[in-house]
């Protein structure tokens, strides 16, 4: 596992010579220090490393070349997973099987189909005309890493379907994934009687892994209550399926033994459970937790066959190794870490929690007393498990989700028994009946939907609790290192002393890794929100957000990028939200920001359906020795376009300055110059993203900035920044940076008035999957 992590989180793969030398050193060290067993362990480490290196090389080589960005390709491919439909759009992974042109196409593509998307099911083969682009996403600290997800899924290109008659289903073609056709057929049978039911995605998700219809609001409710693991099919669900079949196999084996056949009932139980789990895995689509659970069952069955007794840690290590050999990028998926950590925690809790005996000798106890004692022990174990899970998974939860679901303990205490005893068995039984008799399954499916409706109501209540989630900044490396022994200390079996002190080592997780801003200093972060703008300005005790990013087809940058970044940086209070103007690429994410920070003072252009303080030249305020001043527009001035009405903000520290001009064009630039506004400024955001309508020669000469940032989207349709505008700023001697190439950019302006570029997300973040900025170093 360590080998996989070290290789995947490099900025680029080391040279072959370095990798060969490292492999030889590992083998030599293992053989010298621990003999044959050490050599075997070292060999397994090298084997995993080779598998990871080969997989990384294959995925990177399969990526669409940048020079083919925007090309239209005729592609034939299979749909193997359920497409995700939101409003009028459809998104799915296409397993390509060929192209009508000479250009090579990646093996897997993430495709969006807008407006006219038909009904598409897994197991179908389509001929599509797709406008393609290389894998690319916004790069920001603390926000979802879309490029990492694309890489972990082996996706070499993204694109969208061009409208026209060239797109059609190929009915006579065999799909690349035959099992998907069976999943789709069962899903269609189950979906018909559940049409219009809010709980339908839960029923379909638990049975065939069709979560794609689950609304964003539902996922948010699951995140806030820490119950995603109950919906995403994992070892919990595999155990509920394998358990009854293991019992069936045991009874069958004993029956055959009674009839005189030579067999081992426990072996029948193990392999029957494996077969049931494998069938369920095929129907549900093999995710990492599912794969881990099935491999664990296979390992147990093999050990039973070999009559070998092996400890739990060895079994877990064997499963871990197998998963990494089958899915070398599994360490990039949160489910991998949560799944294996959860199993280890469950095992330790079961080891350290001895049942409480009933009163008197067991033989003398009545059936009723034994039943009550068993029930109390089960409730006690459930309570201890939830406490242990909440505490011990806190480091991983913070790393992956940036928050602690405090309501999760309450939700899971009720949900785990409900899923174990009612929801999962009922749903899977209904799915099994639907496979043979769709008509007979209708009452069962409707009953399952009714049960899920009750559970959703309870979950909504938990999610609405004021303490439901605790957003926290991204923890630092020291805090994470200390948290590991804290978790082990807390879980270690008796007679380990003072186990209750272990959680104290987790207190470091409450602080963030980002250093505080000094008094009289300023920190500016230009976020990478695609084609739009969002800038965070922080002083020692205050924070301002200038614009909130664009509105997307299915969401906005405020929810997906801005709020997660603010939380990761430890911004607990946002003092002012300044919206430069009404364009959707600047105010699209405003409402999401306001929902997270309801006390924020809003000025400039009002969010859609909201109100704000008008922005006018002459307004200003001071925070911690830093001056914020509005330069434009002038109150009472004549009508102007939305762009030219942008609120222009100048931030000053000890003679140094930062200019945020929004989308002003030449007309507004000339007005500013006529009123005597001039530079030089230390940092300037290029007006209107570097459009030809802005950055006039006079404005460039007057401001004379040291750094110019273009806030643009990758391969945007307007081709921002314009080539002549870039040349104009270069001729003025400015250092040019583009968020499409650099990701988020952070600048620090000290109390002495010195500006420094302190962070470039794409250049400094770890990960072989990230597209790196141009090789040349920017000026300091």
Most confidently modeled of 221-230, 238-247, 249-258, 519-528? 519-528
Q: Using alpha carbons, select from 606, 587, 588, 590 the residue that is nearest to residue 598.
A: 590
The structure tokens listed for 352 are 């350290």
Which of the listed residues 176, 207, 223 is the one where a domain comes to its end? 176
Is residue 360 assigned to a domain?
no
Check whether residue 37 and residue 73 sit in a common domain: no
Is residue 203 assigned to a domain?
no
Is residue 499 assigned to a domain?
no
CA 692, CA 103: separation in Å to the nearest integer?
33
Check whether residue 85 and residue 105 sit in a common domain: yes
| 421-462: pLDDT as tens digits | 899 999 999 999 999 999 999 999 999 999 999 999 999 999
User: Is residue 32 over pLDDT 70?
Assistant: yes
Give me the pLDDT at residue 298, please.
Answer: 86
Check whether residue 586 and residue 668 sit in a common domain: yes
CA 95, CA 107: separation in Å to the nearest integer?
6
Is residue 305 assigned to a domain?
no
Sequence-distant contacts of 169-173: CB under 8 A, at least 24 apart: 169/124, 169/125, 169/126, 169/127, 170/76, 170/125, 170/126, 170/127, 173/76, 173/97, 173/125
Check whether residue 10 and residue 145 sit in a common domain: no
The structure tokens listed for 385 are 């498990």
For range 459-477, the mean pLDDT: 90
For range 463-491, the mean pLDDT: 87
Check whether residue 13 and residue 150 sit in a common domain: no
Domain count, the chain: 3
User: Is residue 346 over pLDDT 70?
Assistant: yes
User: Is residue 67 over pLDDT 90?
Assistant: yes
CA 549, CA 309: separation in Å to the nearest integer?
58
For range 118-143, the mean pLDDT: 94
Higher pLDDT, residue 164 or 355: 164
Give me the pLDDT at residue 23, please.
Answer: 84
Check whether residue 613 and residue 731 sit in a common domain: yes
Give me the pLDDT at residue 364, please.
Answer: 53
Calculate the CA 774 to chain-centre distance.
Answer: 26
Check whether residue 526 and residue 647 sit in a common domain: yes
Is residue 571 assigned to a domain?
yes
Give me the pLDDT at residue 355, please.
Answer: 59
Most confidently modeled of 76-85, 227-236, 442-451? 442-451
User: Is residue 534 over pLDDT 60?
Assistant: yes
Question: Lowest-confidence range among 231-240, 523-532, 582-591?
Answer: 231-240
Is residue 74 assigned to a domain?
yes
Percent share of the chain, pLDDT over 70: 96
Higher pLDDT, residue 727 or 378: 727
Helix (H) or strand (E) holding 73: strand 72-79
User: Is residue 365 over pLDDT 60?
Assistant: no
Average pLDDT, the chain: 89
CA 528, CA 736: separation in Å to the nearest integer?
15
Higher pLDDT, residue 124 or 391: 124
Is residue 626 assigned to a domain?
yes
Percent share of the chain, pLDDT over 90: 54
Which of the listed residues 42, 61, 80 is the one where a domain comes to its end? 61
Is residue 593 assigned to a domain?
yes
Check whether residue 77 and residue 46 sit in a common domain: no
Question: Lowest-confidence range among 3-12, 135-144, 571-580, 741-750?
Answer: 3-12
Give me the pLDDT at residue 375, please.
Answer: 80
User: Is residue 358 over pLDDT 60?
Assistant: no
CB 456 within 8 A of CB 199: yes
Check whether residue 55 and residue 73 sit in a common domain: no
| 698-744: pLDDT as tens digits | 999 999 999 999 999 999 999 999 999 999 999 999 999 999 999 99
pLDDT band at 40 (very low <50, low <70, confident <90, very high): confident
Question: Lowest-confidence range among 232-236, 352-356, 649-653?
Answer: 352-356
User: pTM of the prediction?
Assistant: 0.91
CA 536, CA 542: separation in Å to the nearest integer?
11
CB 664 within 8 A of CB 644: yes
Check whether residue 49 and residue 76 sit in a common domain: no
Check whether residue 26 and residue 106 sit in a common domain: no
For range 498-505, the mean pLDDT: 80
pLDDT band at 780 (very low <50, low <70, confident <90, very high): low
Phi, psi of 768 (to 5 degrees): -70, -15
Q: What single-letter DSSP state applies at residue 107?
A: S
CA 583, CA 551: separation in Å to the nearest integer?
10
Query: 689: domain CATH number?
Result: 3.60.15.10
Which of the listed residues 147, 176, 205 is the one where a domain comes to its end? 176
Phi, psi of 723 (to 5 degrees): -60, -40
Residue-range definition of the domain harbouring residue 171? 66-176
Give me the pLDDT at residue 498, please.
Answer: 75
Check whether residue 172 and residue 57 sit in a common domain: no
| 568-577: pLDDT as tens digits | 999 999 999 9
CA 495, CA 614: separation in Å to the nearest integer?
66
């Amino acid at each position: 596992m360590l080998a996989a992590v070290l290789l995947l989180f490099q900025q680029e793969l080391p040279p072959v010579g370095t990798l060969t030398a490292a492999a030889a050193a590992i083998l030599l060290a293992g053989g010298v220090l621990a003999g044959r067993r050490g050599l075997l362990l070292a060999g397994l480490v090298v084997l995993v490393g080779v598998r990871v290196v080969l997989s990384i090389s294959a995925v990177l080589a399969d990526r669409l070349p940048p020079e083919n960005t925007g090309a239209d390709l005729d592609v034939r491919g299979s749909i193997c997973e359920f497409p995700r439909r939101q409003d009028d759009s459809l998104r799915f992974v296409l397993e390509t099987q060929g192209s009508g042109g000479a250009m090579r196409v990646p093996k897997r593509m993430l495709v969006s189909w807008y407006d006219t998307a038909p009904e598409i099911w897994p197991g179908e083969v389509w001929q599509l005309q797709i406008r393609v682009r290389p894998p690319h996403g916004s790069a920001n600290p603390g926000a979802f890493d879309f490029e990492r997800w694309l890489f972990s899924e082996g996706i070499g290109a993204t694109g969208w379907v061009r409208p026209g008659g060239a797109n059609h289903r190929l009915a006579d073609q065999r799909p690349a994934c035959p099992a998907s056709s069976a999943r789709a057929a069962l899903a269609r049978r189950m979906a018909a009687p559940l049409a219009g039911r809010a709980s339908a995605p839960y029923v379909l998700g638990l049975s065939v892994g069709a979560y794609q219809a689950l609304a964003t609001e539902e996922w948010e409710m699951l995140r806030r209550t820490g119950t995603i693991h109950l919906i995403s099919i994992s070892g919990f669900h595999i155990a509920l399926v394998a358990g009854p079949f293991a019992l069936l196999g045991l009874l069958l084996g004993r029956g055959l033994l009674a009839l005189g056949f030579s067999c081992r009932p426990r072996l029948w139980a193990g392999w029957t459970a494996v077969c049931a789990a494998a069938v369920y895995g095929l129907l549900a689509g093999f995710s990492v937790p599912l794969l881990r659970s099935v491999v664990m069952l296979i390992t147990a069955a093999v050990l039973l066959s070999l009559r070998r007794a092996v400890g739990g840690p060895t079994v877990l290590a064997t499963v871990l190794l197998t998963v990494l050999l089958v899915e070398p990028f599994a360490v990039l998926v949160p489910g991998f870490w949560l799944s294996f950590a959860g199993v280890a925690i469950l095992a330790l809790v079961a080891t350290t929690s001895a049942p409480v005996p009933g009163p008197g000798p067991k033989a003398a106890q009545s059936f009723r007393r034994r039943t009550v004692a068993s029930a109390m022990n089960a409730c006690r174990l459930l309570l201890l498990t939830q406490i242990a899970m909440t505490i011990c998974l806190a480091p991983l939860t913070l790393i992956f989700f940036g928050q602690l679901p405090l309501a999760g303990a309450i939700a899971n205490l009720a949900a785990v028994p409900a899923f174990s005893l009612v929801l999962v068995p009922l749903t899977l039984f209904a799915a099994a009946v639907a496979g043979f008799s769709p008509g007979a399954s209708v009452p069962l499916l409707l009953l399952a939907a009714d049960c899920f409706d009750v559970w959703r109501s309870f979950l909504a209540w938990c999610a609405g609790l004021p303490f439901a989630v605790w957003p926290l900044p991204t923890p630092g490396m020291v805090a994470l290192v200390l948290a590991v022994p804290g978790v082990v200390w807390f879980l270690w079996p008796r007679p380990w002393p003072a186990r209750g002190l272990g959680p104290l080592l987790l207190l470091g997780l409450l602080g963030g890794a980002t250093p505080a801003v000094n008094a009289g200093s300023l920190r500016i972060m230009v976020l990478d929100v695609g084609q739009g703008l969002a800038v965070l300005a922080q002083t020692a005790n205050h924070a301002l957000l200038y614009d909130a990013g664009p509105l997307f087809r299915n969401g906005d940058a405020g929810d997906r990028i801005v709020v997660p970044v603010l939380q990761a940086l430890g911004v607990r209070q946002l003092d002012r939200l300044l919206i430069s103007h009404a364009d959707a690429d600047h105010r699209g994410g405003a409402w999401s920001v306001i929902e997270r920070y309801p006390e924020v003072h809003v000025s400039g252009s009002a969010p859609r359906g909201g109100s704000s303080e008008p922005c006018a030249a002459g307004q200003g305020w001071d925070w911690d020795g830093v001056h914020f001043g509005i330069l434009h527009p002038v109150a009472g001035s004549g009508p102007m376009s939305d762009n030219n009405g942008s609120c222009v903000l100048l931030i000053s520290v000890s003679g140094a300055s930062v200019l945020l001009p929004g989308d002003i064009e030449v007309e507004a630039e000339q007005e500013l110059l006529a009123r005597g506004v001039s530079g030089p400024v230390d940092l300037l955001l290029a007006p209107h993203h570097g459009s030809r309508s802005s950055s006039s020669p006079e404005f460039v000469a007057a401001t004379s900035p040291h750094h110019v940032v273009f806030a643009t989207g990758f391969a945007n349709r307007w081709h921002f920044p314009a080539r002549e505008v870039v040349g104009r700023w270069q001729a003025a001697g400015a250092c040019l940076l583009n968020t499409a190439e650099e990701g988020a950019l952070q600048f620090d302006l000290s109390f002495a008035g010195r500006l420094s570029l302190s962070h470039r997300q794409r250049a400094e973040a770890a990960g072989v999957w990230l597209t790196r900025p141009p090789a040349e170093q920017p000026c300091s």
